């Protein structure tokens, strides 16, 4: 069903109604118009548009709104003020586009699911008019929520940054960890699409809650794998062991394996890079199901910590590393005493042990 456009006799489709709610106005400008109004060249506009994750358009396609002109003008102002280096302009846009694209996809699916469930439909299809009406009410509220969450994250990260030096804004010492679902490829063949989505949502929810609760940060999710960081090795150990315990008691989720490494990493637009990230990834690939594996630096840091036990593993040959040393991390038995302090000037000995037994596959 369509409605009449106010002030004219032209009918407006449901898609146009929804667009105007979201974009704040109709599409009435071309790329040439945006260039003229913003003073930013078409080539630069095109690079930014593509970096944000949108498909190419022709110069004479009427696809832009007044809000697009305002956004380009704001970005240009950041460049002119020196806040953003011109060479990083596209990277900034790309980081924002990738994060917000996933959020937008989830929210639109949420709207359709809500309408369909309240209509009592057995299918995934919802009445488009109901979706538009709900969007008119819900989207402005979600926009306010986005701003609130963004400000809280900025406040938290700014506090950490101001507590350190300027150099630490881009490079810092962190624990990098990967949590990987064991047997995901086989699962994806045997589960329906809906079952697979539910499983991944359950997995990501448990990981996100435990990481955030211990003061860590989820960097990104990679399907069946989550990359997280923590500033404190003890907190990282609590996260990893807590995840194994939480997932071991879950009747739906399969086992996971976790690899962690400690050292200097480069942080850029929310992501992390460097050899420490590579080592954590390789250790995860080499780990057995339901185990936590850590590198030399992490093991040395945790060796004195009460309640933890480290079991040296045989060096493994993985891509990029011919002999990678690693330790399996477990909780110490509650009845055991804390290990005595090592003599001054000596590295504390790392506990040795055998590999864990493979847990039986859970019923699906």
The tokens describing 265, both together, are 């990493």
pLDDT, residue 11, reads 60
Tens digits of residue pLDDT in 29-86:
999 999 999 999 888 888 888 888 888 888 889 989 999 999 899 888 888 888 888 8
The tokens describing 252, both together, are 């739906």
- Model-level pTM? 0.62
Whole-angstrom Cα distance, residue 313 to residue 296?
11
φ, ψ dihedrals at 15, nearest 5°:
-65, -40
Whole-angstrom Cα distance, residue 213 to residue 49?
37
**Secondary structure of residue 142 in the 3-state scheme:** helix
Whole-angstrom Cα distance, residue 170 to residue 6?
51
- Cα distances from 247 to residues 204, 209, 224, in angstroms, run 11, 13, 14
Q: Where are the domains of the chain?
A: 3-158, 169-331
Q: Is the pLDDT of residue 173 over 80?
A: yes
Tens digits of residue pLDDT in 292-333:
999 999 999 999 899 999 999 988 777 767 678 899 999 998
Q: What H or E segment, with its residue span, contains residue 259? A: strand 256-268
Q: Contact at 8 Å (CB) between 131 and 117? A: no
Expressed in angstroms, the distance from the first to the final Cα of the chain is 44
Residue with tokens 């594996």: 293
Give the CATH superfamily of 169-331: Nucleotide cyclase, GGDEF domain (3.30.70.1230)
Share of the chain above pLDDT 70, in %: 79
Query: Cβ contacts of residue 165 below 8 Å, gap of 6+?
Result: none
User: How many residues belong to the chain?
Assistant: 364
The tokens describing 97, both together, are 């586009």
Residue 83 is classified by DSSP as S
Helices and strands, counts by H and E, the chain? 11, 12
φ, ψ dihedrals at 272, nearest 5°:
-125, 145
Query: Residue 347: which pLDDT band, with cuts at 50, 70 and 90?
Result: very low
Q: Is the pLDDT of residue 123 over 50?
A: no
Q: Is the pLDDT of residue 345 over 60?
A: no
The tokens describing 216, both together, are 């860590």
pLDDT, residue 188, reads 78
Longest dimension (CA), the chain: 88
Q: What H or E segment, with its residue span, contains residue 93? A: helix 89-118
């Amino acid at each position: 069903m369509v409605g009449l456009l106010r002030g004219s006799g032209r009918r407006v489709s449901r898609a146009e109604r929804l667009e105007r709610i979201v974009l704040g106005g109709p599409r009435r400008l071309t790329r040439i118009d945006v260039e003229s109004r913003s003073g930013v060249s078409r080539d630069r506009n095109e690079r930014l548009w593509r970096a944000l994750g949108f498909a190419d358009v022709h110069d004479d396609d009427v696809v832009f709104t007044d809000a697009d002109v305002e956004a380009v003008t704001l970005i240009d102002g950041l460049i002119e003020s020196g806040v953003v280096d011109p060479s990083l302009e596209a990277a900034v846009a790309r980081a924002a586009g990738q994060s917000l694209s996933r959020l937008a996809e989830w929210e639109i699916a949420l709207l359709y699911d809500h309408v369909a469930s309240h209509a009592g439909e057995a299918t995934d299809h919802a009445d488009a008019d109901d979706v538009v009406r709900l969007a008119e009410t819900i989207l402005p509220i979600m926009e306010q929520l986005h701003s609130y969450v963004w400000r809280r994250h900025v406040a938290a990260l700014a506090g950490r940054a101001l507590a350190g030096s300027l150099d630490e804004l881009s490079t810092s010492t962190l624990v990098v960890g990967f949590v990987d679902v064991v047997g995901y490829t086989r699962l994806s063949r045997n589960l329906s699409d809906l079952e697979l989505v539910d499983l991944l949502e359950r997995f990501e929810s448990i990981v996100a809650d435990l990481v955030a609760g211990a003061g860590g940060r989820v960097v990104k999710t990679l399907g069946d794998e989550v990359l997280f960081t923590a500033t404190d090795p003890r907190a990282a150990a609590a996260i990893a062991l807590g995840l194994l315990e939480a997932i071991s008691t879950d009747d739906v989720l399969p086992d996971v394996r976790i690899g962690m490494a400690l050292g200097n990493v480069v942080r850029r637009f929310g992501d992390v890079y460097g050899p420490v990230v590579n080592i954590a990834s390789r250790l995860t690939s080499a780990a057995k199901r339901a185990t936590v594996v850590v590198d030399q630096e992490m093991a040395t840091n945790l060796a004195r910590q009460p309640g933890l036990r480290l079991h040296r593993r045989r060096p493994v040959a993985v891509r990029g590393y011919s002999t990678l040393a690693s330790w399996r991390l477990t909780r110490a038995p509650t009845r055991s005493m804390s290990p005595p302090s090592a003599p001054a000037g000596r590295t504390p000995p790392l506990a040795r042990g055998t590999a864990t037994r493979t847990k039986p596959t859970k019923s699906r």
